[in-house]
Amino acid sequence: EVQLVESGGGVVRPGGSLRLSCAASGFTFDDHVMSWVRQPPGKGLEWVSGISWSGGRTTYVDSVKGRFTISRDSAKNSLYLEMNSLSAEDTALYYCAKGDYSTYYFDHWGRGTLVAVS
Amino acid sequence: AIQLTQSPSSLSASVGDRVTITCRASQGISTALAWYQQKPGKTPNLLIYEASSLESGVPSRFSGSGSGTDFTLTISSLLPEDFATYYCQQFSTPPYTFGQGTKLGIK
């Protein structure tokens, strides 16, 4: 069974930093692209960042470029999101999402970790 | 960035109704489109990928069609568990944008 478990969320002051983690299991982690998707309270979904299976290619939505860094550790089957210079607009539930091999649609999602910037 | 516009933003329907939701892309994306269902307090659930392929385990009353810029999600006969919010998402070009969502409520 595929499982994605996010952690690392919390309350942070504007300008602060957080590091989100996603522990993956139940599939061959190295075979799949991964992404972070966020959802502000009561609002829609926003794709934030993606990373190739090797980690060699990363992409970001413009609003987080230069502030967020996505990475992965194949030895730990884990995905990360380093978030700096946080603002109120970054307040959201952050989901870890598994891509379909090299394609960025998402067949499994974690339950999310809440980031509140206040 | 490619923008996805869903219509309607909300609709009310009855059990047994046939419902169609539209997603329009600001530029051509071939068939690189997925549809998700999200119920309150739950994670999104993949329904359709590649515009018309049904994800394993998803009931056959859900179907998708379209290519290029215009896409539709159809629910052939609504069941009570189908009342939820639906999102389209393009995976043609990063950033891999979502539509704003369509909230399907009970009439």
pLDDT in tens, B1-58: 999 999 999 999 999 999 999 999 999 999 999 999 999 999 999 999 999 999 999 9
Paired residues of B19 in beta bridges = B75
| Structure tokens that stand for A65 in this block | 């470029």
Name the residue among B52, B70, B75, B42 with its Cα closest to residue A105. B52
pLDDT tens digits for range B42-98: 999 999 999 999 999 999 999 999 999 999 999 999 999 999 999 999 999 999 999
Per-residue pLDDT, A97: 98
**Looking at beta carbons, which residues of chain B come within 8 Å of A3?**
none
- Mean of pLDDT values over A95-110: 97
pLDDT bracket for residue A102 (50, 70, 90): very high
Name which of B43, B44, B91 is nearest A103 (Cβ-Cβ): B91
Mean pLDDT, chain A, whole residue set: 98
**Looking at beta carbons, which residues of chain A come within 8 Å of B36?**
45, 106
Task: Yes or no: say if B50 and B65 are a contact pair by the CB < 8 Å rule.
Answer: no
Burial of A51 (0-12, 13-18, 19+ CB in 10 A): buried
B36 interfaces chain A, CB cutoff of 8 Å: yes
pLDDT tens digits for range A8-23: 999 999 999 999 999 9
CA dihedral B86, B4, B65, B57 (to 10 degrees): -40
Task: Yes or no: say if B106 and B10 are a contact pair by the CB < 8 Å rule.
Answer: no
B6 interfaces chain A, CB cutoff of 8 Å: no
Task: Yes or no: say if B91 and B43 are a contact pair by the CB < 8 Å rule.
Answer: no
Per-residue pLDDT, B24: 98
Report the alpha-carbon distance of residue A83 to residue A15 in Å, rounded. Answer: 10
Name the residue among A21, A44, A45, A19 with its Cα closest to residue A34. A21
B54 interfaces chain A, CB cutoff of 8 Å: no
**Looking at beta carbons, which residues of chain A come within 8 Å of B100?**
44
